[in-house]
Amino acid sequence: MKINNFRPQGVNPYKNQMNKLDNIEKAASKKRDVVEISSEAKELQQVSSYELERQKKVDDLKLQIENGTYKPQPKEIAKSIINYYSK
């Protein structure tokens, strides 16, 4: 008795390997990095009213210095420095 077809027909190991590589490439292309910003971080990014008030003070001081009307108070400055470093 002679058996001619002992291997299954239509199986190509090279084609199977290429299909595996294609599937891996498709899966890799679907993956993407995603960055999510929390609501707390979004709130921190917004300009607060404190910052706006501070900027207004700075602008007023700049204007006073340019006009020559700024009069520094040395005693108040000294007290502030002492309070800052004594903490």
Assess if residue 75 is contained within a domain: yes
Assess if residue 55 is contained within a domain: yes
Query: Which distant-in-sequence residues (6+ apart) come within 8 Å of 26 by Cβ?
Result: none
Assess if residue 29 is contained within a domain: no
Residues listed for the chain: 87
**How many angstroms separate the CA atoms of 75 and 80, rounded?**
9
Tokens matching residue 38: 């929390």
Report the range out of 21-25, 40-44, 80-84 with the highest average pLDDT: 80-84
69 neighbors 60 (Cβ within 8 angstroms): no
Tokens matching residue 72: 């520094």
pTM of the model: 0.40
Question: 74: domain range?
Answer: 48-86
Tell me the pLDDT band of 11, cut-offs 50, 70 and 90: low
Assess if residue 52 is contained within a domain: yes
Q: How many domains does the chain divide into?
A: 1
Q: What percent of the chain has pLDDT over 90?
A: 38
Assess if residue 14 is contained within a domain: no
Assess if residue 34 is contained within a domain: no
